[in-house]
Amino acid sequence: MYAITTDQITRNLPEAIITHLPDSWFPGAQSDQSLFTSFFEWLSRTVTTITQDEIRSTTFIGKQLFKKLVQQEKNRLTQQQGFHGDHLDEHVAWTLLEYSSLTSIGNCYISDDSIVVVPINSLARLLNLADDIYQKKHRLHIARIRKSAHGHNFYAWMLTQTQRPDDIGDLARYMSLDEFWPTQLANIEELEAYLDAQSPKGLFHQELAAAWAEYLQQYPQRRENCCSVTLP
């Protein structure tokens, strides 16, 4: 994911509302309900041009603020509900599952602690803007890696293969879109283990083996890192 700034949002969507949650709000938040429930109650009173029914689906918050809200909710569960250990972790996990989408505008995120609210009829334009920003930044990222990929590791080499119309190209495109891909791994067994942890077991294994073999044909000095692939 790539960052989107509030300046980019307001420049393209002047109707967007940018606000911030004051630090003084936290001590006064109700302790008998979820902090996120209290947050949306405050936001509905602050942003009166958006209806309560719409505000939940048209609000996005920066990662810094989200982390602060989650930590405060964790503190509330500990102090008011007496949750600890696995019980606390379970409730925090449910909170993350329910609200983590607030930090994502398509494939982009707000890096600071801003709150962005848009009218419901502007939501599609905001998502299109985020997609345009993501695509431009991703193309630049791929171009930079391609420019310096000669002799680099397997991941960098694979990013030069994203335009191929074959199975290796499919894997390369999958890798390029995975922001958590272990870019420094140089062992095929470890790469297979990562794939199995992220997707159905065996997915892309054949493509990975073919790509690994082709990569080692181009860079035979790295042959010692190939453990299970039989090379021609």
Q: What is the mean pLDDT of each run of 10 residues along the chain (232 residues)?
A: 91 96 89 91 92 91 91 90 88 87 90 92 95 87 62 81 90 87 85 84 86 86 51 36
pLDDT in tens, 25-67: 998 888 889 999 999 999 999 999 988 889 999 999 998 899 9
Counting DSSP H helices and E strands in the chain, the numbers are: 11, 6
Q: Is 151 left (phi over 0), alpha (psi -120 to 50) or beta?
A: left
pLDDT at position 183, please?
A: 85
How would DSSP label each residue in 66-125? HHHHHHHHHHHHHHHS---HHHHHHHHHHHHHHHGGGGEETTEE--SS-EEE--GGGHHH
